[in-house]
Structure 1
Amino acid sequence: MTKFRYLYNQEGLTLVEVLGSIVILSIIVTTFLAFFIHSARTTSVSEEMIDGLYIAQQQVEEIYNQSNHYDYDQLISQLSSQSDNHLSTGLIDEFTLSKEGYQMTIHISPVENDTNETIDDLYTLLVKIFDQDNKQQAQLETKFFFDRLGDNDD
């Protein structure tokens, strides 16, 4: 008779208790889903920025390598032939080109000292990467030196 006592037990959960527990579980699950969605969005944005930065770094390294083998005018000529657009205003050269689905702008300008005098053969290189929506993804800036003869072995 004791075995069947649990079958005839009328104590159980009411509908209100079941609905309450479902609501509490739904709130907890919704909170975690929001974290996962935010994490996925952040990962996607970070991936785009890292890709843009990688392309910018490749371009900077390529220009730096060319600065060891060419003089300034040869580098500008080579970049001009590779670019979609070349704008030269005074001492500043700006190039626009496309690479791996990104739009890239390259600014090369001479470095000035505290008295606004140009430092010979020292240039600032600024590379900006934009996505297809023209939103800036990365920016990399450095300074590099040109030997007058295109030979930095001295």
Structure 2
Amino acid sequence: MPEGRLLRVDDVRVFAAQAGSMGVIIGMELYLEDGRAFTMYNIPLDVALTLEALRGERDYPARKSVFDFLANYEPFKEALARNLRRVVINEIDKSTGLYTATAEFEDDGFRTSIKMIPSHAVFLAVLSDAPIYVDERLVELDSMGEGEEE
């Protein structure tokens, strides 16, 4: 899918929602510059908990996940802040409903893009204060209920 108009993400929040008899679903709400929100579901619990800890909404556990470790490992955070240019959630697989994000890196003139699980890419962007964008076409699909899975 060619890239459409990109909407900047102003804020990221995670939430838990009761899913009837299926239990709890973890979601991520991306609040966009135009006032809309883009929602993804089935976010890994480790990512959600670490994002809440980064925001000061909970403490880091004594037994850390890799996300907790990376959020507190300064050499990694410094390198990431120097090299991560932006994250763009820009693809959906229509057969699975799964989104894909592209993380764009640059180091000494060398540029590379990596396709990632969106919540992982958002985690990296939040950690490094890199901008996050969502392709407006995905926002339109989301508002019609056609794309929801991470």
TM-score normalized by structure 1?
0.20
Structure with more of its chain in strand, by fraction: 2
Report which of the two structures shows the higher radius of gyration computed on alpha carbons.
1
TM-score normalized by structure 2?
0.21
Higher RCO structure (Cα 8 Å, ≥6 apart): 2
Structure with more of its chain in helix, by fraction: 1
